[in-house]
């Protein structure tokens, strides 16, 4: 870094200022510096609007097999595709290729199944990173300030002697070979020169894309129809349930009873719709408490152990609310005051609006949200007359799709032990929301958690 800065300071062809930033604390250190640079702290020396950022992460090694390229940000934010293409092209020229997420494409001699499997693995990594905001590099805070950024991370060979010695004995890190340092420096310098020649920000390429391979991309026009199909499945079932609500007499084709049927229909809505809205409001009130209560206390006070205890406490409160609401409407005198078809239809309309709006901002998060809320909602109580076996099957399915079960299963994805309650994914989501404004935490509290409870109420109602 110091050598590159010394070299760049002697050149006369730079049309823009170059800032070399060394921070500790990863994303938090970069976020603190950006706040200070944009007027939120005591940083008085500035160089104008930042155009782009290239972040380097070089672990101890003798040489690298290549560079891992990470470009996803929080809440589905992406850099312009031109920046990703420039870095990949320059790295190939400098003979230290940059692979997306450090994954090499399947060889050309591979079968179509092997190529498909490799592309699917890379695709799933990107979707998971964009959906939950999983940290993949220190470039993420730059994207919040509309600065195109990415991270280049060295790929260490499994048999590298320097890396093995560092991991086993904790010896002082040794710099890579001069050839490796030269290739990385030339890659960064060529990237900076490419940005130096631009008169304005990248804007003519894509900001919404998915990369299934290192030299292929999927445009938003190709994958956004999938979001339309997800929303359509909710809307069509909601319209069907709205038509089927109430008694069969209100759906008669007899023209002589048309006025009576209209009056009965509006009387039915006046009787049941306030109760349906009341159930939804009560459940969402619990979600609001789940959202606000941890924010009201300092983040440092909410440790991993207390956050895990908080989640299970809210889970017990949620189960109590579900049992209380569903048991209330089994009473004969109030059974006619609510209709499960109406409740499910209204919830499906709500989820369809959320998924539809979210798909144009963060398609990956919209897909995940539909998978954990929309799909269980569609499959809840698909039978007109639910038996005891159907109700038990529905409840078991909803328990497996519940937020608590998902948080427990996410420990494996985050590399945590399922029985290690000293590390909490809930606190990780809360920290991303608290520091970076990630949308995963509020969506869990205000959409995922309440919709799962409403599905259980629908499954248990008479």
Instruction: Quick: pLDDT tens for 251-280.
Output: 677 777 778 877 888 888 888 899 999 999
Separation of alpha carbons 255 and 166, rounded Å = 85
Give the mean pLDDT of 82-93. Answer: 89
Give the mean pLDDT of 49-65. Answer: 84
Residue 76 has a pLDDT of 84
* Residue that wins the pLDDT comparison between 172 and 355: 355
How does residue 455 score in pLDDT terms, banded at 50, 70 and 90?
Answer: very high
Separation of alpha carbons 326 and 337, rounded Å = 12
pLDDT in tens, 165-178: 555 565 555 556 66
How does residue 405 score in pLDDT terms, banded at 50, 70 and 90?
Answer: confident
Give the mean pLDDT of 416-427. Answer: 61
What's the farthest any 2 CA atoms get from each other in the chain? 93
Separation of alpha carbons 448 and 358, rounded Å = 14
Give the mean pLDDT of 289-299. Answer: 81
How does residue 432 score in pLDDT terms, banded at 50, 70 and 90?
Answer: confident
* Percent residues over pLDDT 90 in the chain: 20
Give the mean pLDDT of 287-306. Answer: 78
Residue 180 has a pLDDT of 76
Residue 354 has a pLDDT of 95
Residue 283 has a pLDDT of 92
Q: 416 and 134 in contact (C-beta within 8 Å)?
A: no
pLDDT in tens, 7-38: 888 888 888 888 888 888 788 888 888 888 88
Q: 351 and 451 in contact (C-beta within 8 Å)?
A: yes
Separation in Å, CA 118 to CA 112, 124, 229:
10, 10, 26
Residue 178 has a pLDDT of 64
pLDDT in tens, 186-238: 888 898 888 887 766 776 677 888 888 888 888 888 889 999 999 999 999 99
Give the mean pLDDT of 124-152. Answer: 85
Listed range (56-65, 350-359, 440-449) with the worst mean pLDDT? 56-65
Q: 334 and 461 in contact (C-beta within 8 Å)?
A: no
Q: What are phi and psi of 148, to 5 degrees?
A: -65, 125
Which of 180-194, 297-311, 338-352: highest mean pLDDT? 338-352
Q: Is the per-residue pLDDT at 434 higher than 90? A: no
Residue 369 has a pLDDT of 93
Q: Which residue has the tokens 């964009």?
A: 130
Paired tokens of 139: 């470039």
Residue 268 has a pLDDT of 84
Q: Is the per-residue pLDDT at 299 higher than 70? A: no
Q: 324 and 459 in contact (C-beta within 8 Å)?
A: no
- Closest residue by Cα to residue 449 from 340, 245, 310: 310
Neighbours of 18 (CB within 10 A): 15
* Residue that wins the pLDDT comparison between 45 and 78: 78
Helix axis angle, 449-460 relative to 304-328, nearest 10°?
A: 30
How does residue 352 score in pLDDT terms, banded at 50, 70 and 90?
Answer: very high
Helix ranges, 36-177 (H): 81-93, 112-132, 140-144, 161-169
Give the burial class of 359: count Cβ atoms within 10 A of its Cβ; 0-12 exposed, 13-18 middle, 19 or more buried: buried
Q: Is the per-residue pLDDT at 63 higher than 90? A: no
**SS3 state at 399:** helix
Give the mean pLDDT of 40-52. Answer: 75
Per the prediction, the chain carries an average pLDDT of: 83
* Percent residues over pLDDT 70 in the chain: 88
Listed range (32-46, 158-172, 288-302, 374-388) with the worst mean pLDDT? 158-172
Q: Is the per-residue pLDDT at 386 higher than 80? A: no
Separation of alpha carbons 139 and 81, rounded Å = 15
Separation of alpha carbons 306 and 309, rounded Å = 5
Residues 6+ apart with CB under 8 A from 243: 251
């Amino acid at each position: 870094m110091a050598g590159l800065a010394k070299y760049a300071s002697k050149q006369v062809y730079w049309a823009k200022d170059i800032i070399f930033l060394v921070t500790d604390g990863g994303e938090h250190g970069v976020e603190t510096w950006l706040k200070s640079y944009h007027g939120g702290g005591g940083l008085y020396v500035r160089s104008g609007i930042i155009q782009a950022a290239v972040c380097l992460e070089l672990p101890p090694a003798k040489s690298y097999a290549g560079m891992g390229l990470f470009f996803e940000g929080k809440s589905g934010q992406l850099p312009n595709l031109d920046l990703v293409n420039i870095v990949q092209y320059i790295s190939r020229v400098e003979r230290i290729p940059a692979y997306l997420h450090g994954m090499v494409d399947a060889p050309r001699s591979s079968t179509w199944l092997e190529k498909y499997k490799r592309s699917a693995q890379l695709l799933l990594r990107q979707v998971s990173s964009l959906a939950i905001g999983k940290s993949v590099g220190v470039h993420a805070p730059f994207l919040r300030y509309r600065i195109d950024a990415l991270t280049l991370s060295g790929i260490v060979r499994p048999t590298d002697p320097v890396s093995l010695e560092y991991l086993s004995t904790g010896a002082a890190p040794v710099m890579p070979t001069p050839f490796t340092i030269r290739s990385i420096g030339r890659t960064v310098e060529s990237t900076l020169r490419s940005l130096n020649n631009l008169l304005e920000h990248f804007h003519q390429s894509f900001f919404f894309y998915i990369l299934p391979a290192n030299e292929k991309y999927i445009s938003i026009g190709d994958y956004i129809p999938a979001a339309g199909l997800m929303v359509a499945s909710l809307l069509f079932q909601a319209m069907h349930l709205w038509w089927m609500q109430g008694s069969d007499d209100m759906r008669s084709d007899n023209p002589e009873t048309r006025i009576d049927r209209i009056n009965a229909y509006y009387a039915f809505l006046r009787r049941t719709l306030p109760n349906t809205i009341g159930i939804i409001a009560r459940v969402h009130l619990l979600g609001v408490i789940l959202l606000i209560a941890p924010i009201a206390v300092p983040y440092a006070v909410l440790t991993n152990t207390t956050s895990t205890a908080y989640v299970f406490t809210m889970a017990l409160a949620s189960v109590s609310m579900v049992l209380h609401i569903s048991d209330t409407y089994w009473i004969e005198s109030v059974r006619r005051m609510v209709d499960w078809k109406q409740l499910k239809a209204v919830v499906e309309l709500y989820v369809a609006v959320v998924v539809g709006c979210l798909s144009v901002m963060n398609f990956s998060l919209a897909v995940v949200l539909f998978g954990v809320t929309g799909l269980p909602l569609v499959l809840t109580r698909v039978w007109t007359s639910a038996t005891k076996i159907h109700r038990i099957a529905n409840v078991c399915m909803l328990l497996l799709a519940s937020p608590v079960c998902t948080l427990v299963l996410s420990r494996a994805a985050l590399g945590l032990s399922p029985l290690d309650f000293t590390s909490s994914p809930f606190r990780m989501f809360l920290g991303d929301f608290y520091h970076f404004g990630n949308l995963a935490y509020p969506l869990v509290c205000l959409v995922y958690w309440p919709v799962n409870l409403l599905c259980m109420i629908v499954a248990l109602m008479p």
